[in-house]
Amino acid sequence: MEKEPILKLRGICKYFPGVRALQDVDFTLRRGEIHALMGENGAGKSTLIKVLTGVYVKDAGEVHIEGHEGSVNIHSPQDAQNLGISTVYQEISLCPNLTVAENMFIGREKSPITNWAKMNKRAGEMLSALDIPASPTMQLGSCSIAIQQMVAIARAVDMECKVLILDEPTSSLDEQEVEKLFKLMRDLREKGVGIIFVTHFLDQVYEVCDRITVLRDGGLVGEYVIEDLPRVELVSKMLGKELDDMAEIKSSESDEEAEAKGDIILEAKGLSSSEGIKPFDFHIRAGEVNGFTGLLGSGRSECVRAIFGADRVTSGTVSVNGKQVKIKKPIDAMKAGIGYLPEDRKRDGIVSELSVRENIILALQVMKGFFKPFSRAKAEAFADEYIKLLEIKTASSDTPIGQLSGGNQQKVILARWLLTNPSYLILDEPTRGIDIGTKIEIQKMALQLAKEGKSVTFISSEIDEMLRTCSRLIVMRDRKVVGELTGSDLTQGKIMSTIAGGDNK
Amino acid sequence: MKYRLNSLIHKQIFIPIAALLVLTLFNLIMDPSFFAITLGTNNVGKAVLTGNLITILDNASELVILAIGMTLVTSASGGQDISVGAGIAIAGSVMLRILCGPEGTADVVKAPVIVAFLACCVVSMLFGAFNGILVAYFKIQPMVATLILFTAGRSIAAWINENRLPVINDPTFAYYGNYIPGVVLPTPVFIAIICVAAIFLILKFTNMGLYSQAVGINPHSSRLNGIDPAVIKLITYVLLGLCVAVAGFIKVSRISSINYSVVAKDIEMDAILAVALGGNPLGGGKFNMAASILGAYVIQFLTTTLFKYNVDSTALPAYKAVVVIILVVLSAPVVREKINRSVKTLKSKKAVKEA
* Least-confidence region, from A9-23, B8-22, B328-342: B328-342
- Which residues is A284 bridged to in the sheet? A266
pLDDT, residue B333, reads 67
Phi (first) and psi of residue A271, to 5 degrees: -80, 135
Nearest-angstrom CA–CA distance, A480 and A277? 6
Give the contacts of B336 (CB within 8 A, at least 6 positions apart).
B330
How far does B109 lie from chain A, in Å, by closest CA? Answer: 38
At A296 the pLDDT is 72
| Percentage of the residues of chain A whose pLDDT score is greater than 90 | 33
Is the separation of the CB atoms in A173 and A181 below 8 Å?
yes
Bridge partners of A354, per DSSP, are none
- H or E element that contains A438: helix A436-451
Task: Assign residue A337 a region (left: φ > 0; alpha: ψ between -120 and 50; beta: otherwise).
Answer: left
Encode pLDDT of A194-215 as tens digits: 999 988 778 888 889 999 999 9
- A342 contact B CB<8A: yes
A255-500 CATH pick, 3.60.110.10, 1.10.150.120, 3.40.50.300, 3.30.70.600: 3.40.50.300
Asked whether residue B26 carries a pLDDT value surpassing 50, the answer given is yes
Residue B312 has pLDDT above 50, yes or no: yes
pLDDT over 60 (residue B198):
yes
B337 CA: distance to closest CA in chain A (Å): 16
Q: Report helix, strand or coil for A255.
A: helix
More confident residue, A93 or B121: B121
Cβ of B226 within 8 Å of Cβ of A347? The answer is no
- Is the per-residue pLDDT at B242 higher than 70? yes
Give the count of beta carbons closer than 10 Å to the beta carbon of residue A254: 15
pLDDT of residue A53: 86
Helices (H), strands (E): how many in chain A?
17, 19
Q: Can you tell me the mean pLDDT for B314-340?
A: 78
Instruction: State the pLDDT confidence band at A250, using cuts at 50, 70 and 90.
Output: very low
Residues of A in contact with B207 (CB under 8 A): 365-366, 369-371, 373
Closest residue of chain B to A352, computed from CA coordinates: B217
- What's the burial of A349, exposed, middle or buried (CB within 10 Å: 0-12/13-18/19+)? buried
Residues in chain A within 8 Å Cβ distance of B228: 329, 331
d(CA B348, CA A313): 58
Do the chains contact at A371 and B206, CB–CB below 8 Å? yes
Other CB atoms closer than 10 Å to residue A266's CB: what's the count? Answer: 25
CA-nearest of A270, A226, A292, A290 to A477 is: A292
- List of residues 6+ apart from B230 with CB closer than 8 A: B136, B137
Q: Do domains A5-229 and A255-500 have the same CATH topology?
A: yes
Residue A20 and residue A26 in contact, taking contact as beta carbons nearer than 8 Å? no
Give CA angle at A312 (A306, A314), nearest 5°: 85
Q: Given this model, what pLDDT does residue B321 score?
A: 84
Q: What is the ipTM score, two decimals?
A: 0.86
In terms of phi and psi (left: phi > 0; alpha: psi -120 to 50; beta: otherwise), the region of A58 is: beta
Taking the domains of chain A in order of start, what are their residue ranges? 5-229, 255-500
Yes or no, beta carbons of B222 and A351 under 8 Å apart: yes
**CA–CA distance, A453 with A337 (Å, rounded to integer):** 13
Burial class (CB in 10 A: 0-12, 13-18, 19+), A106: middle
pLDDT the model gives residue A36: 93
The reported pLDDT for the residue numbered B8 is: 63
Q: What pLDDT sits at residue B122?
A: 97
Amino acid making up residue A6: I
- Report residue A175's pLDDT band, with 50, 70 and 90 as the boundaries: confident
Q: Which of A285-294, A490-499, B1-10 has the highest mean pLDDT?
A: A285-294
Architecture, CATH, for domain B2-310: Orthogonal Bundle (1.10)
Work out whether strand A313-320 and strand A264-273 pair parallel, antiparallel, or are unpaired. antiparallel
Tell me phi and psi for residue B204, to 5 degrees: -80, -40
| DSSP three-state, residue A55 | coil
Angle CA B138–B140–B142, to nearest 5: 130
Predicted pLDDT of residue A356: 95
- Is there a contact between B221 and A353 if contact means CB atoms under 8 Å apart? no
Q: Would you state the pLDDT for residue A283? A: 92
- pLDDT band at residue A238 under the 50/70/90 scheme: confident
Residue of A nearest to B201 (CA): A371
- Counting every residue, how long is chain A? 505
| Minimal-distance CA residue of chain B relative to A342 | B224
* Residue B322 pLDDT > 90: no
For the stretch B272-290, pLDDT in tens is 999 988 888 888 999 999 9
Torsion angle of the four alpha carbons B335, B340, B344, B345, in this order, in degrees rounded to the nearest 10: 0
SS3 string, chain B, reads CHHHHHHHHHCCCHHHHHHHHHHHHHHHHHCHHHHCCEEEECCCCCEEEECHHHHHHHHCHHHHHHHHHHHHHHHHHCCCCCCHHHHHHHHHHHHHHHHHHHHCEECCCCCCHHHHHHHHHHHHHHHHHHHHHHHHCCCCCHHHHHHHHHHHHHHHHHHHCCCCCCEECCHHHHHHCCCCCCCCCCHHHHHHHHHHHHHHHHHHHCCHHHHHHHHHHCHHHHHHCCCCHHHHHHHHHHHHHHHHHHHHHHHHHHHCECCCCCCCCCHHHHHHHHHHHCCCCCCCCCCCHHHHHHHHHHHHHHHHHHHHCCCCCCCHHHHHHHHHHHHHHHHCHHHHHHHHHHHHHHHHHHHHHHC
Query: Chain-wide mean pLDDT for chain A?
Result: 85
Residue B92 predicted with pLDDT over 60: yes
A306: phi then psi, degrees, rounded to nearest 5: -65, -40
Task: Please give the pLDDT value at position B10.
Answer: 66
Is B245 in contact with A352 (CB distance < 8 Å)? no
d(CA A466, CA A163): 39
Choose among B207, B217, B225: nearest Cβ to A370: B207
CA A99 to mean position of chain CA atoms: 32
**Which residue from B26, B122, B144 is spatially nearest to B77, judged by alpha carbons?**
B144
With 80 as the cut, is the pLDDT of residue A369 above it? yes
Ranges of beta strands (E only) in A356-466 are 424-428, 455-459
Closest CA to B161 of B105, B239, B225, B238: B105
**Can you say whether residue A115 is alpha, beta or left, with left for phi > 0 and alpha for psi between -120 and 50 degrees?**
beta
- Return the bridge partners of A273, or none: A313
**Considering only CA atoms, which of B135, B150, B222, B93 is closest in space to residue A352?**
B222
| pLDDT for A477 | 87
pLDDT 10s digits, A280-326: 999 999 999 999 988 777 888 899 999 999 999 999 999 999 899 99
Give A170-234 as a DSSP string. TTT--HHHHHHHHHHHHHHHHTT-EEEEE-S-HHHHHHH-SEEEEEETTEEEEEEEGGG--HHHH
Average pLDDT over residues A128-140: 84
- Contact between chains at A365 and B207 (C-beta distance less than 8 A): yes
Residue B354 clears pLDDT 80, i.e. is over it: no
pLDDT band at B3 (very low <50, low <70, confident <90, very high): low
**Identity of the residue in B204, B208, B217 whose CB atom sits nearest the CB atom of A351:** B217
Distance (Å, rounded) from C-alpha B35 to C-alpha B100?
40
Predicted pLDDT at B186: 94
CATH architecture, domain defined by A5-229 = 3-Layer(aba) Sandwich (3.40)
Coil, strand or helix at A39:
coil
C-alpha–C-alpha distance, residues B353 and B355, integer Å: 5
Q: State the pLDDT confidence band at B331, using cuts at 50, 70 and 90.
A: low
Please compute the mean of the pLDDT values over residues A153-178 and round it to a whole number: 79
Mean pLDDT of A252-273: 71
Identify the pLDDT of residue B7: 63
Interface contacts A/B by beta carbons within 8 Å: 74
**Mean pLDDT of chain B, nearest integer:** 90
Say how far apart CA A484 and CA A489 lie, in whole Å. 9
pLDDT score for A109:
65
Which residues of chain A does B226 touch, with a Cβ-Cβ cutoff of 8 Å? Answer: 329-331, 334, 363, 366-367
A368 alpha carbon, distance to own chain's centre: 34
**Angle ∠(B195,A398,B2) on CA atoms, nearest 5:** 90
Q: Which residue of A has its CA nearest to B203?
A: A373
Which has more pLDDT, A377 or B331? A377
- In residues, how long is chain B? 355
Return the DSSP state at A297: T
When pLDDT is averaged across residues A234-246 and rounded to a whole number, the result is 67
pLDDT recorded at residue A256 = 43
Q: Among A278-287, A289-298, A389-398, B263-272, whose mean pLDDT is lowest?
A: A289-298
Q: What is the pLDDT of residue A258?
A: 45
CA distance A337 to A286: 13
Asked if residues A423 and A334 have their Cβ atoms less than 8 Å apart, the reply is: no
Task: Read off φ and ψ for residue A212, nearest 5 degrees.
Answer: -130, 135
